[in-house]
Amino acid sequence: MTTNADDLIEHLTETGKTLCTVESCTGGLVFSTLTAVAGASAVLDRGFITYSNQAKQDMVGVTPETLARFGAVSQQTAAEMAKGGQKTAGTDLSVSLTGIAGPGGGTPDKPVGLVWISACSEDGRQITEHHQFSGDRQQIRQAACDAAIELLQKLSAG
């Protein structure tokens, strides 16, 4: 039985596409999941762990204005993270995740389990989605990881 990660690595290898990840709430889980697939080195370039706002700015160019206006967990920040990662790494594709894995840190507007995921390609296509996952911290992180891989599959197929 193949997994979504296997399928994604196989597709990217066949199409000659490269990928980077920009992760906050998942802390490298997406990159780790993808590197577990044999042959991943043909497509994976690098992973950015941008847990703090400063890291988001320094590593992938999220603007201080975006963070101040919308917050770290927002559609706008996720989109800038993905674009910045793709540009910095020079890869064909990039995926970013920013969210609240819990158990604390949630607010009425941004509850625990809220995760924004954005994927972009070098040709300017970008898909940004929000999800409201449930469960404990690890379940939320794993669900976000799975959703990011699915989003990459959707973008790379289009």
pLDDT, position 1: 47
Distance CA 68, CA 54 (A): 12
Task: Say if residues 29 and 55 touch (Cβ distance below 8 Å).
Answer: no
Q: Which of 2, 1, 35 has its CA nearest to residue 19? A: 35
Residue 131 pairs with which residues in a beta bridge? 115
Question: Which region holds residue 28: left if phi is over 0, alpha if psi is between -120 and 50, else beta?
Answer: left
List, for residues 57-77, the tens digit of each pLDDT value. Answer: 999 999 999 999 999 999 999
Distance CA 132, CA 128 (A): 14
Q: How many alpha carbons lie under 13 Å from residue 12 in its C-beta half-sphere?
A: 31
pLDDT beneath 70: ranges in the chain: 1-2
List, for residues 73-91, the tens digit of each pLDDT value. Answer: 999 999 999 999 999 999 9
27 secondary structure, DSSP code: T
Distance CA 41, CA 35 (A): 7
Decide yes or no: CATH 3.90.950.20 for domain 4-157: yes
Any idea where the domains of the chain sit in the sequence?
A: 4-157
